[in-house]
Amino acid sequence: MEEALRTVENLLRKYGHTYQANLAMIAGEQFARSPAETCRSLNDDEWWGGRDSVAASDLAVDGGFSSEARADGKRLREALIDIYATMKANGQRHEQAEVVIAQFNKWLRSHV
């Protein structure tokens, strides 16, 4: 999950999502000390719920639908899937994240 958090942070910074990137940076630092506590802290609407959440960041739109921005959007979705899988493995579930991750998986299967 550490690599996924770094990926999320770097991609969000690249597209000007400073607040959300800082959330990922803090989680990455926390994960090294306490993975279980990090998973609990990620079980939050700032990550999974609402239009300003980390998961709602749409890098393809932010990047003008360039091929690079679309690829970055895919990498962000893959990293978020990895993060949520680690959360679930640590007993954390978020109702909105379940919906978001299901949609991300659907998009990845259809190569969106």
pLDDT in tens, 16-57: 999 999 999 999 999 999 999 999 999 999 999 999 999 999
The pTM (predicted TM-score) of the whole model is 0.96
Query: How many C-beta neighbours within 10 Å does residue 111 have?
Result: 6
Q: Domain-by-domain residue ranges, the chain?
A: 2-109
- The pLDDT tens digits for 54-79 are 999 999 999 999 999 999 999 999 99
Q: How confident is the model at residue 111 (pLDDT cuts 50, 70, 90)?
A: confident
Whole-number Cα distances in Å, 86 to 51, 104, 106, 111:
23, 16, 19, 23
Segment 104-111 shows an average pLDDT of 92
Task: Return the residue matching tokens 């393809």.
Answer: 60
Identify the band that residue 112 occupies on the pLDDT scale cut at 50, 70 and 90.
Answer: low
